[in-house]
Amino acid sequence: MDLDLPLIWFLTIAILWTGYFVLEGFDFGVGMLLPVLGKDNTDRRVMINSIGPIWDGNEVWLITAVGATLAAFPAWYASMFSGFYLPVLIILLALIVRGVAFEYRGKRDSDQWRARWDAAIIFGSTAPAVLWGLIFANLVRGLPMGADHVVRAGLLDLLSPYALLGAATTLSLFVLHGAVFLTLKTDGEVRTRARALLLRTAYVAIPVTLAFLTWTQLAYGKAWTGPVVALAGAALVIGVILGIRGREGWSFTATAVTIIALSVAVFGAMFPNVLPSTTDAAHSLTITNASSAPYTLTVMTWVGVVFLPLVLCYQAWSYWVFRKRVTRQHIEPVPAYGGGDTGNADDSAPSPGTG
């Protein structure tokens, strides 16, 4: 039986983006909540340490998704990144600044120094959370594109009401997802504040997400995506209720299901297109006319079959090792900087046995 390799790789890329949004979504949320829940430097170190061992591993999903898109659908990659050049550039700069900030905020015993790097973490978490929603909403809606598959879209073309609602959805949903993660991963004052914040963030996240899901389904959805949209909305409401009642594990699972269902609805609305043309539907990129040659897809498939399970097992192991809650008691005093060790004491994760 012949395999439909373009379809398989479209589904694979959708899964990679979904994993990225679920995992990176909560650590974006933690970064955005840094000034809200971190009342002092120790609280902020608790929050950073809660994602310290895993945030960079979460970004592997992004690297793999982008690499798979380039290899499997080069025409999609070229058109998408030319059309979204400015948003993608901002995202890349934000992620670079964010990674540097995690490493450097503890290099000097100075409140002003740490405040600057904290601001970098906040920016590096907020910009991608907003812009990924903007980009994927435009991938569903489509952009002006000719027969040469060159996107001719200005900045205003990217800022349609639907795209802006998509940006607000990922922003508010990731903040909520991050708050739920902090109730699950921390203890003490940070956990208490995060639980209290759940309801306030839900007042924004629930109506915004439901509005975006409804618009997506009515304007671009298929018959089979209707139940997926309903699942996303129900899981979001249930997740908030469970979080308020102190069922942090189930609450986090529910918000993760919301993001998964939202991603399925978005990719389902796109299919079989990967980038619709608003100029002429005949100019749209589909999984067929944007894909690589069958030989390339075949080689990629074998590579994925061999290495993807290894990556998944390693990441699952790292989450298991660093499963303990982080508290203020795990945070060591800031060392005396000068002639001694200049290692990053702020961002060192607690050892697995200190839980």
Q: What is the pLDDT of residue 333?
A: 62
Q: How far apart are CA 153 and CA 80, in angstroms?
A: 11
The set of long-range contacts for 23-26, using a CB threshold of 8 Å and a minimum separation of 24, is 23/54, 23/58, 23/61, 24/55, 24/58, 24/59, 24/61, 24/62, 24/128, 25/129, 25/170, 25/173, 25/174, 25/177, 25/178, 25/259, 26/51, 26/174, 26/177, 26/178, 26/180, 26/181, 26/252
> Half-sphere exposure of 269 toward its Cβ, with a 13 Å CA cutoff?
25
Chain mean position to CA 220: 23
- Residue ranges per domain, the chain? 5-175+272-323
From first to last of the 355 residues of the chain, give the pLDDT tens digit. 467 899 999 999 999 999 999 999 999 999 999 999 988 888 899 999 999 888 888 888 999 999 999 999 999 999 888 889 899 999 999 999 999 999 898 888 888 999 999 999 999 999 999 999 999 999 999 999 888 888 888 888 899 999 999 999 999 999 999 999 999 999 888 999 999 999 899 999 999 999 999 999 999 999 999 999 999 999 999 999 999 998 999 999 999 999 999 999 999 999 999 999 988 888 899 999 999 988 889 998 898 888 888 888 888 888 888 888 888 776 766 554 433 333 343 444 443 333 3
Amino acid at 154: G
So what's the pLDDT on residue 332? 65
Does the model's pTM come out above 0.85?
Answer: yes
User: Cα–Cα distance between 80 and 243 in angstroms, integer?
Assistant: 37
- Single-letter code of the amino acid located at 4: D
Q: How many CA atoms lie within 13 A of 229 on its CB side?
A: 23
Note the pLDDT of residue 69.
Answer: 92
Between CA 102 and CA 30 the distance in angstroms is 13
- Report the distance separating Cα 68 and Cα 262, nearest Å: 21
pLDDT at position 336 = 42
Q: What pLDDT shows up at residue 353?
A: 34
Residue type, 211: A
Centroid of chain to Cα 314? 20
Query: How far is 88 from 188, CA to CA, in rounded Å?
Result: 38
- Specify the DSSP element, H or E, that contains 248: helix 248-270
Beta-bridge partner residues of 151: 145
Query: Are the C-beta atoms of residues 300 and 72 closer than 8 Å to each other?
Result: yes
pLDDT in tens, 143-178: 998 888 888 888 888 999 999 999 999 999 999 999
Is the sign of the CA dihedral 326, 175, 22, 56 positive or negative? negative
Structure confidence by residue, pLDDT tens digits, 39-75: 888 889 999 999 988 888 888 899 999 999 999 999 9
Report how far residue 181's alpha carbon sits from residue 11's, in angstroms, rounded to the nearest whole number: 27
Residue 277 φ then ψ, to 5°:
-100, 125
Percentages of the chain per state (helix, strand, coil), in multiples of 5: 75, 5, 25
User: What is the pLDDT, as a whole number, of residue 343?
Assistant: 37
